[in-house]
Structure 1
Amino acid sequence: MKYPPIFQVAAADPAVTALIGQNPVRLYLFGMAPDKPAGTYCVWQVINGSPENYLAGRPDVEAYSLQVDVYASTAVGARAAGQAIEYAIELVARVTSYNGETRDAETMLYRYSFDVDWIVQR
């Protein structure tokens, strides 16, 4: 499995790094974020995927659906970072749904969530 290059695309966009940092870029694969990240941050995960199967030969691409969740101390901050990430990746992937906005009861951080479909060359 080859992961979609969401980190590389987002980290190359100055509007994204202005909101989620440059060193480090606070865009984490699920389960890899620090316990208490400083500032606005984003986590992503593969929610489904499959190879493009053919009758003859090996698949040359894989299609993935990702869930992207942005967390910030304010709703405005979560939306701004989420929309910056959407804008950065929409030329190479497709935003397919918006999953609503919530506030985590434990951390009190605001969450902006969306899904992305991404086709990756093998």
Structure 2
Amino acid sequence: MAMESPVYMLLAATPALLALVPAASIYKSGIAAENAVAPYITIQEIATTPQNYVAGRPGIDTFRPTVKVMAETEGQCRKIAELVRDALELDGHCLIADGPEQDTETRLFVHFSDWHFHINR
């Protein structure tokens, strides 16, 4: 099985997104650094499963990541979420997108999107 989904690679290869969120502010662990400054993006791998066959080894792995955008303003959050969508939708399928909503604890605006990717081994 592949070790991680292509999400980070796709986001880090998108110049328009990197103009607003540096690659160092895209966190693959699902958790931002304690001193993270908005805007930032977290990627959490919800599930990775092989596409099993009756005979032979799986030829495809399925990844299900959640991407979370955190930003100081609703407009900034929405713009970054649109850039995330544009970077991912040619390779993956968006299952659901929600937000932006203001987080009551951090007062930052947050947008969630769940994705589904099929990657050949």
Q: Same fold (TM over 0.5)?
A: yes
SS at match of 2:8: helix
**1:78 maps onto 2:47 in alignment:** no
Q: Report the equivalent of 2:120.
A: 121
Unaligned runs of 5+ in 1: none
Q: d(CA) in 1 for partners of 2:69 and 2:111? A: 5
Q: d(CA) in 1 for partners of 2:32 and 2:107? A: 17
Which residue identity is paired with 1:99? D
Q: Report the equivalent of 1:12.
A: 13
Q: d(CA) in 2 for partners of 1:76 and 1:16? A: 14
Unaligned runs of 5+ in 2: none
Displacement of 1:74 in angstroms is 0.5
SS at match of 1:79: helix
**Structure 1 runs, 4 residues or longer, greater than 4 Å off:** none
Count of residues in Structure 1 that have an aligned counterpart in Structure 2: 120
Deviations 1:10-56 (A, max 9, x none): 1111111011114x2x1112344211212310111122332100011
> Is the CA contact (8 Å cut-off) linking 1:98 and 1:114 kept in structure 2?
yes
Measured on the aligned residues, the alpha-carbon RMSD in Å equals 1.5
Displacement of 1:9 in angstroms is 0.9
Displacement of 1:102 in angstroms is 2.1
Deviations 1:65-92 (A, max 9, x none): 2111100000111111111011011111
